[in-house]
Chains A and B, each alone.
Chain A
Amino acid sequence: MVLPSIKNTDFIFRRFNVELEGPAIPVEDTPEVKGAVPTAEPFKTLALAVVKGDTDAVLSKVKDALRTTKPLDIIEKGLAKGMDAVGALYASGTYFLPNVMVSADAMMAGIAECEKALGKTTEKKGKVVCHVAEGDPHDIGKNLVVMFLRAAGYDVIDLGRDVPIETVVNAVKKEKPIWLTGTALMTTTMSNFPKIAAKLKDAGIDIPFGCGGGALSKEWVETFDLGFFGAKSHHAPKLADAILKGMGWKDLRVKYSEVVGEYATGKGW
């Protein structure tokens, strides 16, 4: 069996990802890493271990550093700086999502080690409640949002998947988060979101309710109060930071792209 040959594939397709690929540079020499990682030790080594997503190295370097350095400094000047570099590498297209995940795992392991030394958990920036709609088992998007938020220093109450409306509403009343997220893949499960928003409004709660997932669109989410459309999981920390500074759901609907730093009002793949 021999398939016919194609004279010139440029008239059929172009592999832009290959055409646009830059030169191979070791990750530590990239501008993203140089711009974020400190030069002083032990912070540089700690940050680079996070950049490389090496949990074992992070744990061993954190243990070494704890002999001479305060746990909070290790977190803020070392581990967090490494994660800043990872975020920049992801934004520039050098890193892919799994790189971010393994770096986040490594950083969280390092933070846990520091918290052990501190004897308490570190102060978080704010609290976010995350859930997947009732009847919906698809939780990969929610898990990514949870990971991005935790890596950025937020306290996340993860309610899991297939979560009844009342459970979500009660969690918001109890936890008083700055923000609620909901994800859904199916058209009929996402209809729980306006019901949740209505119950929160009835209870006098006016927090942003970020909704995302395969079946949702910006147009649909903006049909109910509190709702704004979340386009990509990695936007979550920037959105949380904006909410922490006082941005409400009405502004987020308009300024979303500005807040996350990229065009993001449309749906994804």
Chain B
Amino acid sequence: MVKFRYTKMAYKDPDDMVFGHAIYPVFCKNWNIQFGAGYVIPEVKVAPRPGMGDSLEKLKAEHERITRDACDRAAAIGIPFFMIEQEHVFQQTDNPKWAGEITALQAAIIEEYVSKYGMKAALRQTVGDIRIAEKPGGLRASLGSEYDAHIAETVEECCKNGASDICMETMGGKEVLDYGCMRQDIRAILFGIGYLGSIDMEYVWTRNVEICGHYATNPGGETNCSGANTLMFVAGGLTAHDFPHTVAMMGRAIAAGRTLVAYECGAVGPHKDCAYEGPILKAVSGRPGAQEGKQAVCAHGDVMGNTIAAVCDVWSNESVEFHSEFGGTTPAVWLQATAMEAALMNTAIQTGQAKVLRDLYTLTDRFRDPQGYCLSYDNAWRIGNALVEYGKDIYLRARAAALEAGKIMKEAHEKREVVLTRFELDSLERAMAELEAMTTETPRWVEKCVADYKRKVPNFKPENYGL
């Protein structure tokens, strides 16, 4: 169950938001690190190579190299604090004992380096959401889902074996979101991410918080990888023509309502990064967050790689496969890349110029694309402010966030700050008109959505959401 709903903004003034500082810093019990406490922490995420999931031995050997190479580079270039995030591969989450052994191995390596050099560190375990909506048991162990039962066991194994915090990227509502993404159906996007996603978040995060509470592990948070990140990925760059960037941005605003549910269940942060809803989350919650941008080029293209750094507390590379570059293996190379950027931000903080750098980051991409415009910290704050006005209702708050994002983009177009193409503008206006026409009576809206998408989306099973 959620413990509360966000109905007020943590930040009263967007100008108070800046990288490295959060209203509610988070302390990690192991290795003495704090998030949002006046410094930005670099993060590296590396995925095992294909075939490494064939056996526990192979997977352990791969994770040993990932962890050791990152720690070695931290020592070699003098990185004072860093986080290693391990996003689980399917086999890791599906075999809880594997997850436990690998976490223990990584924790032991970090401990070795922390003891030797006195650096601060964190080990984030992001447990995979391996549930499949249409398989027997669907999304819930109580309905018979073995995958869901394995997720719970894996969370516990990671906590037991030394994870600093637990994160996830839950998939609730994805089946409807995908339908909406392929057809530019804003109602399906709102229902999939904003409503179904929020219900599933509450289910998963109530459990995660409860399990973490038994150990020295923080329940971290989320990002809407399966929804808003999908929209961004499909939208692509300026010259792509697969999905309008304006509607992708509305999806991100909707995702903020959904991702806040982790905090409402008791997660403490930092939240994760790939859906880029982080500036909105921070504005509403005051909790620290991870972001990714220009040093995530190893994972995807990006039209706002600087802007998104403006209010981060952890700076991440998103994800890269383990392999060798000329400059070392990827954990070493990409930790160095994120650490050097974090060093710039920390220099700005230590010289009293944090807000200057924040604004330079922001301006670099603010007018490049409507997504960057909306995610600039001042506009992200506006979206958050619209969201909390309806904070108690997961449908109405997501709808309000989407409408505010739409309003911001239209203003930008009218002021000629971000001129939109006809397709972008038409898509935006159509989506806004559809959102405005929707009923504000939540039960009526839900009933209609359930009936319609049950018919249109074969994988959508209302029972997965207790509907």
Judge whether A122 is part of the interface by a CB distance below 8 angstroms. Answer: no
Q: How far is the CB of A104 from chain B (nearest CB, A)?
A: 10
Judge whether B174 is part of the interface by a CB distance below 8 angstroms. Answer: yes
Interchain CB contact under 8 A, A4 and B181: no
Judge whether A136 is part of the interface by a CB distance below 8 angstroms. Answer: yes
Interchain CB contact under 8 A, B421 and A21: yes
Query: Residue of A at shortest CB range from B87?
Result: A186
> Residues 71-108 of chain A: 1 if any B CB is under 8 Å from the residue's CB, otherwise 0?
00000000000000000001001011110011001000
Judge whether A246 is part of the interface by a CB distance below 8 angstroms. Answer: no
* Chain A residues whose C-beta falls within 8 Å of the C-beta of B422 in the assembled complex: 21, 24
Known contacts A137-B132, A137-B171, A269-B300; A187 and B238 CB within 8 A of each other: no
Q: Which of B207-238 contact A (CB under 8 A)?
A: 226, 230, 233-234, 236-238
* Chain B residues whose C-beta falls within 8 Å of the C-beta of A144 in the assembled complex: 182
Judge whether B23 is part of the interface by a CB distance below 8 angstroms. Answer: no
Interchain CB contact under 8 A, B91 and A135: yes
Interchain CB contact under 8 A, B233 and A191: no
Interchain CB contact under 8 A, A140 and B423: no
Judge whether B29 is part of the interface by a CB distance below 8 angstroms. Answer: no
* Chain B residues whose C-beta falls within 8 Å of the C-beta of A253 in the assembled complex: none
Interchain CB contact under 8 A, A18 and B241: no
Judge whether B72 is part of the interface by a CB distance below 8 angstroms. Answer: no
Contact pick for B90, options A1, A21, A143, A189, CB 8 Å: A189
| Assembly CA distance A1 to B89 (angstroms) | 44
**Which of under 10, 10 to 19, 20 to 34, or 35 or more describes the interface residues of B?**
35 or more
| Assembly CA distance A162 to B54 (angstroms) | 16
| Assembly CA distance A236 to B355 (angstroms) | 49
Interchain CB contact under 8 A, B236 and A269: yes
* Chain B residues whose C-beta falls within 8 Å of the C-beta of A160 in the assembled complex: 134
Judge whether B278 is part of the interface by a CB distance below 8 angstroms. Answer: no
Interchain CB contact under 8 A, B359 and A3: yes
Interface size on A, residues (CB 8 A): 46
Interchain CB contact under 8 A, B48 and A140: no
Interchain CB contact under 8 A, A215 and B94: no
* Chain B residues whose C-beta falls within 8 Å of the C-beta of A98 in the assembled complex: 181-184, 243
Judge whether A17 is part of the interface by a CB distance below 8 angstroms. Answer: yes
> Residues 399-430 of chain B: 1 if any A CB is under 8 Å from the residue's CB, otherwise 0?
00000000000000000001111110000000
| Assembly CA distance A138 to B178 (angstroms) | 10
> Residues 342-374 of chain B: 1 if any A CB is under 8 Å from the residue's CB, otherwise 0?
000000000000000001001111111100000
Contact pick for A96, options B52, B244, B363, CB 8 Å: B244
* Chain B residues whose C-beta falls within 8 Å of the C-beta of A191 in the assembled complex: 50-51, 53-54
Q: Which of B31-83 contact A (CB under 8 A)?
A: 47-54
Interchain CB contact under 8 A, B178 and A4: no
Judge whether A54 is part of the interface by a CB distance below 8 angstroms. Answer: no
* Chain A residues whose C-beta falls within 8 Å of the C-beta of B50 in the assembled complex: 187-188, 190-191, 215, 220
| Assembly CA distance A136 to B93 (angstroms) | 12
| Assembly CA distance A191 to B321 (angstroms) | 13
Query: Residue of A at shortest CB range from B91?
Result: A188
Q: How far is the CB of A268 from chain B (nearest CB, A)?
A: 7
Interchain CB contact under 8 A, B233 and A269: yes
Judge whether A241 is part of the interface by a CB distance below 8 angstroms. Answer: no
* Chain B residues whose C-beta falls within 8 Å of the C-beta of A215 in the assembled complex: 47, 50, 321
Interchain CB contact under 8 A, B182 and A186: no
Query: Residue of B at shortest CB range from A6?
Result: B363
Q: How far is the CB of A142 from chain B (nearest CB, A)?
A: 10
* Chain B residues whose C-beta falls within 8 Å of the C-beta of A220 in the assembled complex: 50
* Chain A residues whose C-beta falls within 8 Å of the C-beta of B441 in the assembled complex: none
Judge whether B135 is part of the interface by a CB distance below 8 angstroms. Answer: yes
Interchain CB contact under 8 A, B421 and A17: yes
| Assembly CA distance A269 to B233 (angstroms) | 7
Q: Which of B287-345 contact A (CB under 8 A)?
A: 300-301, 321
Judge whether A139 is part of the interface by a CB distance below 8 angstroms. Answer: yes
| Assembly CA distance A161 to B174 (angstroms) | 13
Judge whether B463 is part of the interface by a CB distance below 8 angstroms. Answer: no
Q: How far is the CB of A51 from chain B (nearest CB, A)?
A: 16
Q: Which of A187-203 contact B (CB under 8 A)?
A: 187-191
* Chain A residues whose C-beta falls within 8 Å of the C-beta of B238 in the assembled complex: 15-17
Query: Residue of A at shortest CB range from B356?
Result: A4
Interchain CB contact under 8 A, A15 and B241: no
* Chain A residues whose C-beta falls within 8 Å of the C-beta of B156 in the assembled complex: none
Known contacts A17-B421, A135-B130; A140 and B178 CB within 8 A of each other: yes
Q: Which of A203-252 contact B (CB under 8 A)?
A: 214-215, 220
Q: How far is the CB of A193 from chain B (nearest CB, A)?
A: 9
| Assembly CA distance A45 to B182 (angstroms) | 25
* Chain B residues whose C-beta falls within 8 Å of the C-beta of A9 in the assembled complex: 367
Interchain CB contact under 8 A, A139 and B89: no
Judge whether A59 is part of the interface by a CB distance below 8 angstroms. Answer: no
Query: Residue of A at shortest CB range from B182?
Result: A101
Most chain B C-beta atoms within 10 Å of own C-beta, residue among A134, A144, A190: A144
| Assembly CA distance A4 to B357 (angstroms) | 12
Judge whether A263 is part of the interface by a CB distance below 8 angstroms. Answer: no
Q: Could you give 8 example pairs across A and B, Cβ below 8 Å?
A: A3-B359, A13-B367, A17-B239, A96-B244, A135-B94, A140-B178, A187-B321, A269-B237
Known interface pairs A96-B243, A187-B48, A190-B50; 5 further A-B residue pairs with C-beta atoms within 8 A, sorted by A's residue number: A13-B368, A15-B418, A18-B419, A144-B182, A215-B50
Question: Interface of A with B (CB < 8 Å)?
Answer: 1, 3-4, 6, 9, 12-13, 15-18, 21, 24, 90, 93, 95-98, 101-102, 105, 134-140, 143-144, 147, 160-162, 186-191, 214-215, 220, 268-269
A-B interface, 10 closest residue pairs, ranked by CB to CB distance from nearest: A135-B90, A98-B184, A188-B53, A188-B89, A1-B15, A191-B50, A269-B236, A97-B242, A269-B301, A17-B238
